[in-house]
Amino acid sequence: MVSGNHRDRIYNFSAGPSMLPLSALETAAAEMTNYRGSGMSVMEMSHRSKVYLEIFNETKASLRAALSVPDTHEILFMQGGATFQFSAAPLNLIGENGEADYAITGSFSSIAAKEARKYGKINISASSEVKDFSYIPPPGALKLSGGAKYFYYCANNTIYGTEWQYVPETGGVPLVCDMSSNILSKPVDVSRYGLIFAGAQKNMAPAGMAVVIIDKSLAGRELPYTPKIMSYKTAIEKDSMDNTPPCYTIYMLGLTLRWLETRGGVAGMEKRKAAKAKILYDAIDASRLFMGCADKASRSDMNITFRTTDKDTDARFIRQAEERGLVNLAGHRSVGGMRASVYNAVPEEGARALADFMREFEEKNS
Ligand SMILES: Cc1ncc(COP(=O)(O)O)c(C=O)c1O
């Protein structure tokens, strides 16, 4: 259990939706029925009202500051989660009879490539599927087709627990990146990307929204049948308000960003995540019962995947951990084993409590 005044809070290792900063939840609770004397909940405000536009603009400015987003790029808040972007990206960027290169390093990039195939020719630049997505292809393994309108990859593979340790070099071909499960966990040079998108429900806010960061020069090339609601050009022109935006989720993102600012921003998050990941990977590497699922050189600092050699032992571990207030440790249903997601809001004590429990469990079970 988390110590302090919130003994009823547990360590939640969910892959998403996942833990949010306690201070953000508490502020939201305190402001729930009457936001700063407005007499209204943020949920009840017109998205065009002055009071809401202040929240919206402040959140956008905080995100721009947190990720040092240059003026060449626009920040969009779009409904539909990250999956919506699997369609929006090709519709906006691939062009008539166009091509794109995709690196397949897990389920979400596979799904994204399958979706993109509806709109153009998709070249598989690299794939780690033959080794069960246990690694990220090294730079030399990426095949660039030459005619691609963009190069697509998923920076952190939530299910397999692998993370790109480098930014692909594409010789000027715009980079499109799904950063759903590691955005805001470390500094990123946004200027290297044509498009970044991320579902909100891991490091940012409740589910249902994607943050999109787009190089404005790439907007306006959409296929003619692109739904207006998916058009980056329209979203830029309307400042994410062509229809009602996910108002409350944007407000929650603002509260999360306020918390992040008080902890050293993304540079502070980078230190935090490295410390948490080290605690858990050290425990895995020192163990004779548990083993890591991802190749060491490709390990994710956000989603730590591990297992024993026996499914029943895995199930017992997950059950007993839950009794200790260490919850949501089951691996994705498609792969089994265990997965500890240690997103920004998961405190270091959570990682320590889990590592301690792993050692205790091993002692009793070997
Ligand atoms: C890396 C990654 N991309 C995409 C998605 C899909 O996100 P959403 O459910 O918001 O569409 C997820 C969800 O977990 C994810 O982890």
Domain of 356: which CATH number? 3.90.1150.10
Query: In terms of domains, do 41 and 175 share one?
Result: yes
Range of the domain at 154: 26-261
Whether 317 and 178 share a structural domain: no
Instruction: Give the pLDDT score at 366.
Output: 80
Mean pLDDT, all residues of the chain: 97
d(CA 21, CA 100): 38
Rounded average pLDDT over 166-175: 97
pLDDT at 273 over 80: yes
Same domain, 57 and 204: yes
Q: How far is CA 316 from CA 50, 186, 287, 311, 358, in A?
A: 53, 34, 17, 9, 12
Q: What span, in angstroms and rounded, lies between the C-alpha atoms of 44 and 248? A: 9
Nearest residue (by CA) to ligand 1, atom 4, is 82
Q: How far apart are the CA of 176 and the centre of ligand 1, in A? A: 15
The answer to whether the CB of 151 falls within 8 A of the CB of 174 is yes
Average pLDDT over residues 275-293: 98
- Same domain flag for 254 and 333: no
**How close is the Cα of 160 to the center of ligand 1, in Å?**
13
Atom of ligand 1 nearest to the CA of 83: 11
Asked if residue 14 is part of any domain, the answer here is no
Residue 214 lies in a domain: yes
Tell me how far the alpha carbon of residue 86 lies from the centroid of ligand 1, in angstroms.
10
pTM across the whole model: 0.97
Residues 335 and 244 placed together within one structural domain of the fold: no
302 and 257 fall within a common domain: no
Residue 15 lies in a domain: no
Number of domains into which the chain is organized: 2
On whether both 72 and 94 belong to a single domain, the answer is yes
In a mutational test of the pocket of ligand 1, which residue from 163, 176, 181 has the highest number of ligand atoms less than 8 Å from its CB? 181
- Check: CB of residue 346 under 8 Å from CB of residue 273: no
Give SS3 for 49: coil
Where does ligand 1 bind, in terms of residues with CB under 6 Å?
A: 16, 81-83, 108, 154, 158, 178, 180-181, 199
Say whether both 141 and 200 belong to one domain. Answer: yes
The whole-number pLDDT of residue 6 equals 54
> Which residue(s) pair with 340 in the sheet?
304
Residues 208 and 350 in one domain: no
pLDDT for res 8: 81
* Last residue of one domain, picked from the residues 261, 278, 297: 261
State in Å: Cα 83 to ligand 1 middle: 6
Span from the CA of 56 to the centroid of ligand 1 (angstroms): 23
**Ligand 1: which of 79, 108, 176 to mutate, judged by most atoms within 8 Å of the beta carbon?**
108
pLDDT for residue 1 is more than 90: no
Q: Which of 261, 285, 314 is the last residue of a domain?
A: 261
Choose the final residue of a domain: 261, 289, 307: 261
Residue 54 above 90 pLDDT? Answer: yes
Q: Does residue 76 form part of some domain? A: yes
156 and 251 inside one domain: yes
Average pLDDT over residues 7-33: 95
pLDDT of residue 3: 47
Is 77 part of any domain? Answer: yes
CATH (domain of 116): 3.40.640.10
For residue 50, the CA-to-ligand 1 centroid distance in Å is 32
Q: What is the pLDDT of residue 5?
A: 52
Residue 243 lies in a domain: yes
In this structure, the answer to whether residues 274 and 312 fall within a common structural domain is: yes
Query: Considering the domain boundaries, does residue 18 fall inside one?
Result: no
Looking at the CA of residue 207, tell me the nearest atom of ligand 1: 10
pLDDT digit string (tens) for 184-193? 999 999 999 9
Structure tokens at 70: 């240059």
If you search the block for the tokens 């240059």, which residue do you land on? 70
Helix H or strand E encompassing 191: none
Tell me whether residue 185 is in a domain: yes
- Residue bearing the CA closest to ligand 1, atom 16: 158
The identity of residue 65, as a single letter, is A
Ligand 1 mutation pick, 114, 180, 249, max ligand atoms within 8 A of CB: 180
* 332 Cβ contact list (under 8 Å, min separation 6): 15, 107, 158, 159, 339
Q: Whose CA is nearest to atom 1 of ligand 1?
A: 180
Residue 302 and residue 203 in one domain: no
Rounded distance from Cα 109 to ligand 1 centre (Å): 10
* Percent of the chain with pLDDT strictly greater than 70: 98
- 82-89 mean pLDDT: 98
